Structure 1
Amino acid sequence: MRGGLTGMEALGSLLPAEPLTRTVSPADVGRRVGQARTRRGLTGDALGALVGLGKDQISKIENGRRKIGVRELPKFAEVLGVSVAHLLGQPSRPTLAMAHRLAGDTSPDEDSNAKRRALQLLEVEDVLTQRAAPPPALPTAAGQQVFDYARKELSQRPRNKAEAERQGKHLAEQMRLRLGLGSHELGDLPGLIERHFGVDVALSPLGTQTDGLCIHGDGVALIVASTDFSQGHVRFTLAHELGHHLLGDPRDVINEGERDMFADNLQERRVNAFAGHLLMPEEGIRETLKWLSAGRVTERSLVALMEQFGVSLGALVYQLCVMGLITYDQGKRLRSQRVGDLVARHASVAPTGAGITVRQTVRAPERLLSAAVDAARNQHVGLGVVATLLQREDDDALWDAVMEADPEVLV
């Protein structure tokens, strides 16, 4: 019989907060209330309405001039999507605290496949942290330089569209420079994000209501993307969510569909500019066009660029417009074409169809998967942990795969 824990027993449950034993000051509680309110995107008026207090009372609480009563604390925690222990500054495990936050942030009528997947991953990480000590998710020295540039040089919010696009472009250029990426296409984008920025990346077929989800906070950084879109679309989503993380978006849970990603606001415009220039550097595009079509944009060169940089038609056309290589009207005409027919006419330069192919890939964060496989082999956790990460059945086939010497048999 197999040893260790299996199934849901292996995952455990979200444990209650630590006992509330030490005295905390109203100023500390108020500061945490204010921080949580900002992350939720609530005004003082809105928070007051949700907890049954006036705006002036919320202001006093956040400034430490009014205590939150014992009976009021649970309501504040519920509305703000945090635990009572968090508001009181009690010790807690970051992934567990974020799981609490995420579990309380999903309404019954919300399409929440991405949030449910993220919650699974947070629960898995919490179990592994207690039983297997997975390696911490840390940026490389080069990745930290990119973080520092984003948080220091781009800390001021853009004042207009041109500035938003300029900031996004500069961040992409800094990332390529610091990581030594040159003007070449990016291969394993999820691996690059995990390796250099300490952000776990998960891919799953999650439907088309949500493109991507970014969760970040103290000790937690996770990007989830739906693979029910083309590979090119998925790559843009990953780059877009990475932009939110690098630029320190104050929201700790960013759940976006296409309409959200391309909303007409400076925040989204900036991260879209970052994603576009990261995936499709201007120098690389010009080099390819010069070699393939004497610098002109043709149907054939368009398809070749989609293949080379692994991007969708829409993203590429937008970037070509930004570069001034095509006009807005030309771009509109190109986007009106059936992309499948366009690629089929020039299949010789698109052998994989990367820009249009939907693969419904399942990818677990490499850091967690490696730790889970090792822990399962050593019977520190059950096979259910690995099954949850891979979204596979906990069966004999998975058991045999996990016990193989080469973990690549799992994918």
Structure 2
Amino acid sequence: MKAGSPDLATLGHRIRHFRGERGMTLDQLGAAVGLAGSQLSLIENGKREPKLSTLDALAAALEVDLAALLAREAPSRRAALELELGRAQSSPLYASLGIPTIKPGRGITDEALEAIVGLHRELQRRASEAIATPEEARRANTELRELMRERDNSLPEIEQLAEERVRASGHRTGALTHREVSVMAEQLGFQLIYVNDLPGSTRSITDIANGRIYLPPASIPGGHGLRSMALQAMAHRLLGHERPNSYAEFLWQRLEINYFAAACLMPREASVTFLSAAKKEKRLAIEDFRDAFGVTHEAAALRFTNLATTHLDMTLHFLRVAGDGALLKGYENDGLPLPTDVTGSIEGQWVCKKWSARTSFEHTNRTTENYQYTDTPAGTFWCATQTGRTDAAEFSITVGVPFNQAKWFRGRETTVRAVSTCPDDACCRRAPDGLAERWAGRAWPSARLHAHVLSPLPSGTFPGVDDAEVYEFLETHAEQ
């Protein structure tokens, strides 16, 4: 046993417990086993490991079996609480608080000790839940995707809130302007300020005390426009968000603010009117929806998933796929067999090489959508795919529907057709027999490791955000 370890601490409590039962003082028991009272006190406090001969002597003096003295269980409820408090106060989490430890002496009642230990448990629980481990993130993402599938990816309450705020800004038709977004912020008591020194872990920072929303001076690569970032920041206030107590709650809040921003940039009433007219004329196209409201292709595609089932009476799927074929984001309520791992998670799984989400990367003309019919074990689907690129990598955005709903879309006339039998490995993942025989055991590729698969998001007030950087930023700008 190591000095200061839980096992030594438990042993010390058991010695003290049995000594108390015998009515012996430290000096009396020490004299019986050949130790000074001060030496015995160190053993009882878990700070010194006794020799085996000393343990035998202690058991004999206390009239208990050696096995009973060495048992791992705390000798009483009070002792168990004191041990738990000791472990909590020696943890890195407690050290990070910068507050002194307390000794659970006789002056602290059992009830007070229960309360203190209970607070430590809750502190540890919240800290653990705030850490976005890969496993926690995947589980929370899967649960959230299943929840939104049950709701047809629609949140009517946020739709209504967005309609009210957009109308109050004076907006009537066309794309929501930067000025109208600024008016929306002013109506909430905030001023939009564009700065060059936002911490790298943030998209925006809201100074609640001084009524400021800090934004970068230009859009962030990946489709995060300034209007959208400002609306997301406002959404936290409008939706009454509090600090998230778990990573799942953090993800839910992020989904809500993204939904609110999209519902403001593409208001429900105007969007449904536009899309319904296009459906009636059988010329639905994400490209046109995107251009009509001045948003990114991905934003238009995602917004289409919010409205299609509830307002256009159609099921559909959405995919964002990386250039290497990994599924980054996905939604379906039309039965498309998305690839999943054993937990049901889709993030990071490879989509079939024959789907348009991947074949589109092979096209030389990437300025317009690519159309394709794909026969799958779950039926035939029509898809429209647009490719794009960030500073880091290329990606594709796909919106698709079952065969019988393709009639509403521009591009339905395409003659491009593929057959996918995934998840059968023979479809696109297994090398032809001859090729496999020739190279099996003779190749050793060096895999590219995606670091995010192994690394959790740092656990600040908000997962992935450096609190110190945020507070230093606010301190600097509060003086300006």
TM superposition score category, shorter chain reference: 0.3 to 0.5
Which of the pair is proportionally richer in helix?
Answer: 1
TM-score of the superposed pair, with normalisation by structure 2: 0.32
Larger Rg: 2
Which of the pair is proportionally richer in strand?
Answer: 2
TM-score of the superposed pair, with normalisation by structure 1: 0.37
Larger RCO, structures 1/2 (Cα 8 Å, 6+ apart): 1
